[in-house]
Chains A and B, each alone.
Chain A
Amino acid sequence: MHELLQPFVRFFVSLRLTVVLLVFSILLVFLATLDQVHLGVWGIQHKWFFTFIVVQSVNGFPVPVFPGGYFIGGMLLINLVAAHVYRFKLTWKKSGIWLAHLGVILLIASQFLTGLLQRESQVQFNVGDSKRYSEDFLLDELAVIDATDPKFDDVVAIPESLLSRDEPIQHPKLPFRIVTRLYYPNSVVQMRSQAPNALPSPATMDIGLQLAVTPQPVTYKPDEHNMPAACVELIGQEGSLGIWLVSPWIEQSQTFDYAGRTWQLVMRSKRYYTPYGMTLLQVKNDVYPGTEIPKNFSSQVRIHDEAKGDRDVLIYMNNPLRYGGLTYYQYQMNKASGLSVLQVVRNPSWLVPYIACLLVAAGLVMQFGLHLTGFIRKRSAAAAK
């Protein structure tokens, strides 16, 4: 049995494998960078890095073309751990190398965790605005809101990806099911009077009757945003309630009454609510004197936290706010209109890379120190003779 395993062990502990994997990771970064032209910076992350195998569509068929980021990273991790188990002895002399390699293992693991757990969104507000949520950069959702309660909204948020499937959507909180009749991942919505030759749309309710939807090619450019559009039919117990057109182009929610309750439909950027609120008090854009070159952008915000009380903070470049497990970075600003955009990053494993780097540094210092003391001891012993 042991002999059968030998080739595997030799393969996984070999330094040759390490070199090959490192070459593959360089190639991976290079090829993914080239592919950005087609998919944009968001698309390639999922296609090349957050995957085990990179799959390319050739004539409509998915063909695996390259090992993905998870695969290469995972193999490197196995290689490193296996080499330690089989090759290195845990001795005091080698402890520095052990510590440094532990740091590298931690670094790879943290990147894996980041890929799984990190979420980026934004808070966009004007001076005086208060927000209790951040909005996703890319994803949209259909919010079905029970607005009957005068104080609260009960929201059922349906991801856009579910609308794109041909399956009726049912939810215990909704007295009707939702069936997608039309879905475009990217679109332009115009007043019908402005687009006399537009396709007839299936919408039968509310503003949808006056609007024309034109599909657009899906965009991957980093400076463009897909604007989806969907026609959804709501079907209650007595039959169809009608077909509504929903799209982020239509900012206002569309209201109707059903089953004795008031409902609102709106398609908007996916929202992530926080248990605290935030008010933008002031925005500042300093420039270097006598020039238009920006020196600093800062936003003064007030956090309203029922549990911890109110607190004023200043967020500026390279000085993000860390609060409630989220990190708020100053992202964009329009001082003239008093608008500030904060990037919100949730990354529970954000500390791990710092710890990993400290471990690597400590390991190297330790290894060097051990060699140095050994060398000095040898030399002084030689001098004593």
Chain B
Amino acid sequence: MRPVLWDFRLLNRGLRGWARLGMTNRMDAWPSGLNLDTCHLILGTSRLIGAVRNSDTWSVRVEIFAPGRDTCPLMRPRLLLICAAAALLASCRDERITTYRVPKEASSPAVPAQATAGTVAITWILPAGWTTKPDPSGMRKGSFLVSGMDGAKADVSVTAFPGDVGGDLANVNRWRGQVGLAPIDEAAFAQSVQTIDGPAGKFSFVELSGGTAAGGAQKPVRMLGAWLQQPDQRWFFKLMGDDSLVTTQRDAFLSFLKSVSFAATPVAPPVVAGREKAQSTNDLPKAPIAPFASGTMPDGNAIPAPGESAASQAALTWTAPGDWQAEPLSAMRIGSFAVSSDAGSADISISAFPGEAGGLLANINRWRGQLGLDPIAGGDLAGATIAFDGAGGLHFTVVDLSGHTGGAPARMLGAILSFEGQTYFFKMTGPDAIVAREKPAFFDFLKTVKAP
């Protein structure tokens, strides 16, 4: 059998939040594993209305009950009679299309290649190993992640503000607070600031270390900060992270500063915003918005910082074996390694998605599809997977699959872990010889995965 292809198409959506879906499943025969449970996993509550076979295509009509937030109890026909008057006033007020005219917002693209700010365009050259990362606050002109060995991480940010933003001393003292250092006075400040010449002008530069991040783990942190006055704005460049990593990245940061240049350009018309901006932003889809627990504030006990909740995606920690090479992280990878030998190289990826991410069966069948294997039914799940207990009570569901990718034999070790509302995927793929050799190392690696 060929792999399952899904094609969902929304046909209708009624008042009560019902939707009918047309689904075609190009299969030679109705697969035993494909039943309503499969739909249930992916779509929420669903109901099979009927299935029709047209030559080699199955058309299935499914009704899904998606009680979306648009569900408006007062819109139910039977209740309309009872509460027509209230319905006029009540919660349906958000159903209308509204129009308004607003002044244009200053655009602040998250993409560094060419950030426009007013009439000035800034460009720079990224050092090797720096990857663009999403900016939950939306205020950065540039946002990068630097990853080192053993999970060491550092964050690079580029921001710009009009005016002097409270003065250099206040700003450096704010930075000092972020690395857990006490504030300094004007005299000490004057001594600590160095000047770096670049094509863009004279950068003021400070190096701060010795403290630990405020509220964070007790790891020593280091910060390199620089600022540069431009006619209309003051630009801030900051590298902050684990002490050892930032120390090794010092030269890279300085060469990054020297690569910065400003070019006067006309105000970017909205037309150019289009494609390139959109593309590059979408390398890094935005993390779901921070939790909105109403009532958090009145207690006064805990105010979740949105930045922190965005970072909770990487809440787990792990230690990779020595011969695994750390690879740059990408949009959906929160961990990436490669291991190679004469037999070729295997790729190890770690990713995380909110919720069940489609469910265990759907994901294992997705992996099976990647190796050209037939999907399995829900009943066969127990026989096809290995339960593996990691450290600290973490339970992994592991599969070991052999198949083909692109005509070449391939093997995959995959582990799925559900942890605090996220589903984590650990996956090693490569030629059979190397994956077989690395299998013990993969399980040892899973044992190093720990909750913070």
Across the two chains, which residue of chain A brings its CB closest to B166?
Answer: A282
Instruction: Establish whether residues A181 and B306, one from each chain, have CB atoms under 8 Å apart when the complex forms.
Output: no
Interface check A111, CB cutoff 8 A: no
Instruction: Establish whether residues A343 and B10, one from each chain, have CB atoms under 8 Å apart when the complex forms.
Output: no
Alpha-carbon separation in the docked complex, A57 to B309 (Å): 34
Q: A252-B278, A334-B306 are in contact. Are A157 and B100 (CB under 8 A)?
A: yes
Contacts between the two chains (Cβ within 8 Å), count? 285
Interface string of A109-129 (1 = CB under 8 A from B): 000000110001010101011
Contact of B97 among A42, A162, A251, A256 (CB under 8 A): A162
Interface check A321, CB cutoff 8 A: no
Would you give the shortest CB distance from B12 to chain A, in whole angstroms? 4
Instruction: Establish whether residues B101 and A155, one from each chain, have CB atoms under 8 Å apart when the complex forms.
Output: yes
Interface check A158, CB cutoff 8 A: yes
Instruction: Establish whether residues B358 and A224, one from each chain, have CB atoms under 8 Å apart when the complex forms.
Output: no
Would you give the shortest CB distance from A102 to chain B, in whole angstroms? 23
Residues of A within 8 A of B282 (CB): 189, 191, 207, 210-211, 249-250, 252
Would you give the shortest CB distance from A62 to chain B, in whole angstroms? 6
Interface check B356, CB cutoff 8 A: yes
- Chain A interface residue number, banded: 35 or more
Interface check A134, CB cutoff 8 A: no
Would you give the shortest CB distance from B77 to chain A, in whole angstroms? 10
Q: A169-B97, A216-B354 are in contact. Are A190 and B69 (CB under 8 A)?
A: no
Interface check A309, CB cutoff 8 A: no
Q: A152-B104, A182-B10, A191-B331 are in contact. Are A252 and B95 (CB under 8 A)?
A: no
Instruction: Establish whether residues A190 and B273, one from each chain, have CB atoms under 8 Å apart when the complex forms.
Output: no
Instruction: Establish whether residues A155 and B94, one from each chain, have CB atoms under 8 Å apart when the complex forms.
Output: no
Instruction: Establish whether residues B102 and A155, one from each chain, have CB atoms under 8 Å apart when the complex forms.
Output: yes
Instruction: Establish whether residues B101 and A171, one from each chain, have CB atoms under 8 Å apart when the complex forms.
Output: no
Residues of B within 8 A of A190 (CB): 285, 331-332
Specify which of B68, B79, B103, B307 lies most central, judged by the most chain A CB atoms within 10 Å of its CB: B68
Residues of B within 8 A of A226 (CB): 68-69
Residues of A within 8 A of B94 (CB): 139, 159, 161, 270
Residues of B within 8 A of A181 (CB): 9-10
Alpha-carbon separation in the docked complex, A77 to B47 (Å): 42
Residues of B within 8 A of A89 (CB): none
Alpha-carbon separation in the docked complex, A191 to B279 (Å): 10
User: What are some 22 contacts across the A-B interface (CB < 8 A)?
Assistant: A53-B82, A155-B101, A155-B102, A158-B97, A161-B94, A164-B17, A164-B19, A164-B70, A180-B10, A182-B8, A183-B13, A185-B68, A217-B44, A225-B289, A252-B109, A252-B277, A255-B274, A329-B297, A332-B303, A334-B308, A336-B305, A339-B137
The 9 closest A-B pairs by CB, nearest first: A161-B70, A255-B274, A223-B291, A334-B305, A147-B270, A185-B68, A249-B285, A126-B139, A252-B278
- Chain A interface residues toward B at CB < 8 A: 39, 41-43, 46-47, 50-53, 55, 57, 60, 62, 70, 115-116, 120, 122, 124, 126, 128-129, 132-133, 137-139, 147, 150-162, 164-166, 169, 171, 173, 180-183, 185, 188-191, 194-197, 199-200, 202, 206-207, 210-211, 214-219, 221-227, 248-257, 262, 264, 269-270, 273, 292, 294, 297, 317, 329-337, 339, 341, 343
- Chain B interface residues toward A at CB < 8 A: 3, 6-13, 16-17, 19, 42-44, 47, 63, 65-74, 76, 78-79, 82-83, 86, 89-91, 94-105, 109-110, 137-139, 161-162, 165, 178, 214-215, 267, 269-271, 273-275, 277-279, 281-283, 285-286, 288-294, 296-297, 300-301, 303-309, 330-333, 353-358, 366, 369-370, 421
